[in-house]
Structure 1
């Protein structure tokens, strides 16, 4: 029996394919996968690899990370971080050095906030009545 995530992935892929006005055969050809295999993915009978999802996402011109979340490969937080990084790296208005500095700042903020959240959780566990 297909898992819930795989079923959701198949439904989502079918919806995206129809929105792009592509037949199953056209998408399979554009993604470099077989027509029957893509059909099985859409029906929730197969769980594709990350590589296949990336090929399908590229053919549909959508985020591969979104497909990874739907397939259960990535969680939502990981997807958001990857998309943020991708947007920074794709920005043509800043140079490579600026992109790297911006990513370093982004990482430092994420670490700082994770540490604060962990400290807050520990404090709540130590003093559960304090609100």
Structure 2
């Protein structure tokens, strides 16, 4: 299973969103977003939840379904 930083980076790229765009949507700086994706820093739970909401990633690592 992929870790959260890989999932975030892959999903962000699939959606055609830059790190800067995602950072603005989440309300964090682009350098902090980069540090999250590279594993230098761990996001707070509220930040991680916001990223997952925007990128439609389940906190449990499974893709969301629209059923």
Query: TM bucket by the smaller chain?
Result: 0.7 to 0.9
The one of 43, 47, 60 aligned to 1:66: 60
The one of 11, 24, 35 aligned to 2:6: 11
Greater share of helix residues, 1 or 2? 1
Which runs of structure 1 show a deviation greater than 4 angstroms over 4 or more consecutive aligned residues? none
Larger relative CO (CA 8 A, sep 6+): 1 or 2?
2
Count of residues in Structure 1 that have an aligned counterpart in Structure 2: 62
Structure with larger Rg: 1
Deviation string 1:47-67 (CA, Å, 9 cap, x unpaired) is 11111101111221222x236
Q: Give the Cα–Cα distance (whole angstroms) in 2 for the partners of residues 48 and 61 of structure 1.
A: 17
Is 1:22 matched with 2:39?
no
Q: Does the CA contact (< 8 Å) of 1:9 and 1:44 recur in 2? A: no
TM-score with structure 2 setting the length: 0.77
